[in-house]
Amino acid sequence: MSDAYLVPPEDTAAAAIEEVEAELGLFDDWMERYQYIIEMGRKLPPFPEDWQDDAHRVPGCQSQVWLEAVERDGKLFFAGASDAAIVQGLVALLLRVYSGRSSAEILGTSPVFLHEMGLVKALSTNRGNGVEAMAQAIQKRAALQA
């Protein structure tokens, strides 16, 4: 498995969501939260340039977003990238929740947490639609594996 795939620190998607909510809750306003999300994106493993093509592109995103997945030992590991800093951070957030999980866990983890965190509402309409498109692409990939 390439070093591009994210192995999250949390054992479950639910634990990752809880941890991200706690981390974002440390900040007083959305500008500080955006900065934190951008920092998350900067820490993503490098995404290979030869994957930055139409085959890996996520439709429905204003910015360019690419995802790749590999199945290993019954779990899906994702790699991702974007050409926009805030979107790269949103990719990192989603991968932290969904990467390294079984298809059943991915499919059982609704992206509704993006709304519950207030994230979709805090983003521009296009960015909100884009992060939902990314979550749908991850869910669609897991459905193929199930």
Closest CA to 45 of 10, 5, 83: 5
Catalytic residue among 4, 20, 61, 93: 61
Q: Are 8 and 95 in contact (CB under 8 A)?
A: yes
Active site residue 61: yes
Instruction: Give dist(CA 4, CA 43) in Å, integer.
Output: 11
- φ/ψ (deg, to 5) at 75: -125, 150
Q: What share of the chain is helix, strand, coil (3-state, %, to 5)?
A: 55, 10, 35
Instruction: Please give the positions annotated as active site.
Output: 61
